[in-house]
A and B are shown apart, each in its own frame.
Chain A
Amino acid sequence: MNDRTQVAERDQKPAARREADQPSRRMTLTPAVDVFEDSQGITLWADLPGVTKDKLEVKVHDGNLYIEAEAVVPTPTGLRLQHAEIREPRFARAFSLSPDFDTSKIDANLQDGVLKLTVPRRDEARPRRIEVQTN
């Protein structure tokens, strides 16, 4: 009864079979995000319903931040999908990061299908108050 199968359709059409040759061409959903910046850095929230920690990949490459995830929703065996608003279980989104940010100190937290990422500013890029000297 509790087999872990995809609730979102896995397309089995011939078009989907080409996935094997071109894994980068997969259909993916763009997760909704909130992005805020304050003096400490960037905070990003992303909606990733059905995603667990082991199916989530957050990586930084060439100054770009990549979020890739796959949703797994336990469903009973023999399920026939009748109405689908989420048709793909894969999420992907990329952002470019300015060099002001310290990509080695990114903090990622996933809870209830929401990813919270904090990207701190480099110390030297933080706003500083400069004392004005008077003679």
Chain B
Amino acid sequence: MSDLYSRPSPFSEFDRLQREMASLFSGFPSSIRSGRSGATFPYVNIGATDDSIEIVAFAPGLSAGELDVSIDKGLLTIAGERKPARPDASGDTRDDVRTYAQERFSGAFRRVIELPQNADPDKVQARYTNGCLSITVGKREASKPRAITVQ
């Protein structure tokens, strides 16, 4: 099927994996109360350097403690729950609140990213700043580019 002469780029490979993962999880019924089915949260960018795989999840309005990041069998999972900006009217009955827009995601979320073979699950760092979760996954030594000395 694939063209012998055009190598698949790592870019399309990541996109393909994302599509596969998305279709894998889309079959599950979503909560009847989550009005926006198919809302992607958080958005994720993935890049690589010679030494590491860099993942940035755009997840504003959380704290580091509310984020659950795990790696299992080459799958990186980012999960958590984002509370609505305005809690349900229970404690606020005296005031008549009108809602004009409610576009921001709220509820439980989960993103699964398949890491490439050369990712080292023992070398992972995660940091949450300004609403962005940055995850660095080291590459195994053997997979790093090396200059070979010609004898």
Contact = CB atoms under 8 A, between A and B. Distances in A.
Contact of A86 (B45, B48, B61): B45
Interface of B: 10-11, 13-15, 18, 40, 42-52, 54, 56, 58-63, 84-86, 95-105, 128-132, 134, 136
Nearest to B56: A7
B45 A49 contact: no
Contact of A36 (B48, B54, B98): B98
A113 B46 CA distance: 19
B132 A38 contact: no
A34 B85 contact: yes
Interface of A: 7-8, 32-39, 43, 45, 47-52, 71, 73-86, 112-114, 116
B100 A36 contact: yes
A49 B63 CA distance: 13
A114 B61 contact: yes
A112 B44 contact: no
B62 to A, nearest CB: 6
Nearest to A87: B45
A33 B51 CA distance: 37
B54 A50 contact: no
A76 B105 CA distance: 29
8 contacts: A45-B104, A49-B131, A71-B58, A78-B49, A81-B11, A83-B14, A112-B62, A112-B128
